Amino acid sequence: MSTPAVRLAFSRSCRALSGVFPDMEAVLAWFAAKDRRDRFTVRRVPLCALSQWAYLPGPLRLGHCSGKFFTIEGIGVESSCGPVRSWDQPIINQPEIGILGLLAREIDGVLHFLMQAKMEPGNVNILQLSPTVQATRSNYSRVHGGHAPRYLEYFTEPGLATVLLDQLQPEQGARFLFKRNRNMVVAVDHEVPVHEDFCWLTLGQIKALLTRDNIVNMDARTVVSLIPMADPDEPPDYGQLDGVGGFRRDAYLSYCRSDRERHSMDAIMTWLTVGKARHAMRLTPLPLDGLRGWKVTDEAIFHESGLYFSVIGVDVAACTREATRWSQPLLHHHGEGLVGFLCQSHGGVLHFLARGTLEPGNRDGVLIGPTVACSEVAARASRFCAPRFLERFLDPAGLTVRYDAVQSEEGGRFHHFRNRYMIVELPPGLPLDTPEHYLWLTLGQLWRMARHGHVNIEARNLLACLGAEESPL
């Protein structure tokens, strides 16, 4: 398929609420049936009771005795910007590049994506929908001692499928050190056997599920975020907009009205370059027991203030997973965070307010983030340190809430880490005072920048949520 043909197929799939499953009720019924059986048993245990995990010396860190998977290490951070300029924290170090992959196939003229009902120990509801494959290198190399993930060969063996998209994308820079995954979409033009935990969904059906809390997992959201609703390299195809109105139409046009962009791509690159050149973080490796403000015990690692996150241990028993029983550390998060984009029509085209965002685990300094990304909203809002524009989301009187749902972050590394994701539209012409590290971008521009790895995972998550039918369920 040529690029325009692929983008057209994406765009059509995005508008399809009917496919192998005739409607969303059937999708939800399938998911509910999966949800009734095969549950994990997840039991919290002290870190010192984790099988094959231990505190390792020189400098003190938490790791697996095989040397594989990941380690939890300490870092000291000196930042040239932000309200807090110096802090210590634990961070996950997993230098390998994994694969988050969606297998696609045209069925009855509509592109479908093979989604997996997958259990992860850290999810509040255990079962969520993941992409076809979410594989770390430890998965391929079978450190689990289990099987290779199903369908992995379509992503790793040349010639088995057509690659539609393959990009390296960064993950949470506040929790992962330099972590990136390949985000892939590959297509086959023939039937493949569908295992009982998998199902074919249209992009429209996935977007509809994204209007609900905690169904589509983070790994699926980041891949979906890279699939454009409309072709950013072509002028709008108004024929495709038949029957599409309101905010969804505005979002579609924000992908392809490149004649109406407020800033040129050159200007956006300049803005990002200035951010990267002006602001930097200096990281120093530290032993876990040398981190200011953190307590390291046999039970857990936690901050004296009770804020941020803690490192806990879980013991997991399952019957359908690659390995049936294992234990591992997870980063437990206490409160709910908020991740939000403000958007507004400029010159008749929807623009999104991006914020240059610097986090210690960013491999390349400042990235393009959403307007607001804030952990522990309740705790922060009650203190002096609420970030700029947070109040527009907490009290959006006079504004239009276009998206509002709670989504879970990676349940294989995080325990009960949820963020409320919001998109709030300002009335056209309402003035907004934006400091220099904020910039208005169209969706086409965000997509172009994301393709090169310049857009952080919080912002990509919000892009994924755009384009659902209004009230589809």
Residues that bind a second copy (CB under 8 A): 2-3, 6, 97, 163-168, 182, 264-267, 269-270, 273-274, 276-277, 363-364, 451-452, 454
How many C-beta atoms surround the C-beta of residue 302 within 10 A?
21
Measured from the CB atom, is 318 or 449 closer to a second copy? 449
- Determine if the peptide bond prior to 57 is cis (ω within 30°): no
Tokens standing for 31? Answer: 């998911």
Measured from the CB atom, is 223 or 296 closer to a second copy? 223
Identify the residue whose tokens are 């392809």.
Answer: 256
CB 269, min distance to a second copy, A:
6
- Residue pair 153/133 in contact (Cβ under 8 Å)? The answer is no
Measured from the CB atom, is 24 or 366 closer to a second copy? 366
CB 404, min distance to a second copy, A:
32
CB 266, min distance to a second copy, A:
5
CB 363, min distance to a second copy, A:
7
Measured from the CB atom, is 67 or 398 closer to a second copy? 67
CB 77, min distance to a second copy, A:
16
Measured from the CB atom, is 124 or 265 closer to a second copy? 265
Nearest partner of 232 among 469, 2, 461, 4, judged by Cα: 4
- Residue pair 433/199 in contact (Cβ under 8 Å)? The answer is no
CB 30, min distance to a second copy, A:
32
Alpha carbons within 13 angstroms on the beta-carbon side of residue 330 total 27
Decide: residue 382, CB within 10 A, 0-12 exposed, 13-18 middle, 19+ buried: exposed
Phi, psi of 32, rounded to the nearest 5 degrees? -65, -35
Measured from the CB atom, is 285 or 335 closer to a second copy? 285
Decide: residue 76, CB within 10 A, 0-12 exposed, 13-18 middle, 19+ buried: middle
